[in-house]
Amino acid sequence: MNKTTLIRTDELEQILLETTPRRAVRRAVALIAQSIPSASVTVMSVDTDHHVRFDAANGISWSELRNLESSFNRELPHNIMGIIRDRETCFIGDVGAYPDWRGPAHDLVSYVGFPIIIDRRVVSIINVQTSRRRLRSGDVDALRPLVHLISLIIARYLKEQQSAKRENYLALLHETTLDGVRATSAVEYMNTVIKRIARRLGYQYIALFLYEAGTESLILRAQKGYASEYDGFVHSVHDRVGVAMRAFRLRRVVNVADARTCAFYLHAVPGGLSDLALPLMAGGKVIGVLNLESKKAGAFSREDIRNLTPLAAGVGLMLASMQIKQLLREQALLDGLTGAHNRHAMDGILAEELERARRHGHDVSLVMMDVDEFKSINDRLGHAEGDRVLETLVAVMHKSLRSIDKVIRYGGDEFLLVLPETSQRETELLLDRLRVSIQTQVLTDMGPVHCSVGVATVRGDPEGGDLVELADKRMYQAKGRHRARLEEDPGY
């Protein structure tokens, strides 16, 4: 037997001169099989979750190997598990006497499994099986030099693979960081992140949820692979289903390897079998969830989780920073007392709405509003009561107006209302309803509050004029008429 395992120098050179490590391994496997009578040889990789995959074979069909893979991945046989656990060669001189043999359906008599170890972990196993002739311990020793050579080739290949994978994740992390610096909004950033993940890692189903404190829910803000009906999907944090929700509630990564056995899996992907959810953390709080799904069972390994965790952390910090900046920007454009937009925001709002009206041929109405006798309220009831009146007035207006309408504190007790897609007639009807709301809800010891208004519209007034100035002029005309009525009828 020892003579048959001798390998010529030119055969070793051919192995080392192969253009790819995979081809080198296959040539070495064929050489082992040729060197040992009646041998079949396989190389089987082992991932961090102890899932196995046959990468090279000689003397056994691939269809048979795929059936073995399925069997091994349901439950590893004792000989394979022992090699992984003990990191030592497993020699079975008599396969027929071994109680847990699971292998090819040939008349095998002997088996030896050699571990390939990188960083103290078994990453591959070289399996040699013989029929007709039984292996002895001396035969195993004779095989070790060639096995050691194959181990070096496989180790080099895996090191290159691991290095490339790490570089890929580092490049992804670097790119998403730069994307965050360049993005003008959180939604733009999240959509870019999803495109990067899909391109770099090849995932087909990706979702980014953000937590909204007001509604106590996770909201789907960006996604790839899901039906469009899921856009903006709202998931209450009080729900018990959903892998993303579980990651949010537990504040840790949740990996579902087989959705068929998971009670809380939410079937958003037809045929989905794996689901990985990573919480996006910032300042000790969960601000969202990165969710990945696959139609393949066991799609996400421990190594995937180790590589994705820093990415999720970086995305979480970037989104939190964006949210803080957005909040500061919004606060800088809001009136501190009433919460209405301030004069700094006015130019941007007007320019945007007037341009939109011009582009789509819509109307825009501007309403200048002023609280009548506001000085008397301050003088007779105090400035605190005056502030309360303004706060209440803006709250009533926000309740009465649409979400697209804007309330701007123009100055003192003057407010400018910007009403997109609203004609002059529609504005008059709206103001009739608003007057009733103000007079019934904004009350003082002096009685209900009254307001004077002036209206200007894009399509109802001459082009080229200053609509704000026109609305202001008409408001003062209305205020003059109000004062005239007060002089005629002080009880008015």
- Any idea which residues carry the catalytic annotation? 413
Residue type, 2: N
Q: Which residues contact 383 (CB under 8 A, 6 or more apart)?
A: none
Neighbours of 451 (CB within 10 A): 25
Closest CA to 155 of 249, 59, 28: 28
Q: Where are the alpha helices (DSSP H) in 89-202?
A: 137-182, 186-201
Q: Which amino acid is at 460?
A: G
- Is 133 exposed, middle or buried (CB count within 10 Å of its CB: 0-12, 13-18, 19+)? middle
Residue whose C-alpha is closest to residue 334's, from 345, 323, 325: 345
Are the C-beta atoms of residues 417 and 367 closer than 8 Å to each other?
A: yes
Residue 412, helix vs strand vs coil? coil
Query: What region, left, alpha or beta, does residue 429 occupy, with left being phi > 0 and alpha being psi -120 to 50 degrees?
Result: alpha
Q: How far apart are CA 418 and CA 364, in angstroms?
A: 7
